[in-house]
Amino acid sequence: MTRRPRYACCAGLAFCWFGAAAILCQKSPNTVRNGSPKSGSVIFRKSCSVCHSVHKGETKVGPSLYGELREGSGHSEEHVRQVIIEGQGTMPPFKEKLDSEQMDDLIAYLKTL
């Protein structure tokens, strides 16, 4: 028996395994993404910090976002996400300004406050 068929078989199995892994790792619409708090802090500074503070009790144009997503705050992640997307009161909507990845990053950052 020669070694070529065995190597070909191993190479074929490796190709199938890596191909399946690549398919499984692709983003699907139902994939939950945690987001990057570090990237979210940059987005916050650029898009939110003009009107919102991250310090407890400090009000600018809008309320401080300190503790907004802390357990017991009365605000769910879905509620905060909806307010960011649609706007509320004098806050403009950000649905045209932030893509879903940026939104995930921003939410991840707000969870750290």
pLDDT tens-place string over residues 61-74: 999 999 999 888 88
Note the pLDDT tens digit of each residue in 1-40: 555 555 544 444 444 444 444 444 444 444 456 899 999 9
N- to C-terminal Cα separation, the chain: 65
Residue 5, helix vs strand vs coil: helix
DSSP summary character for residue 93: P
Percent of the chain past pLDDT 90, that is, above it, reads 65
CA–CA distance, 92 with 84 (Å, rounded to integer)? 8
* pLDDT given for residue 24 in this prediction: 40
Predicted TM-score (pTM) of this structure: 0.69
Token pair for 29: 């619409």
* pLDDT given for residue 27 in this prediction: 43
Max CA separation in the chain (angstroms)? 79
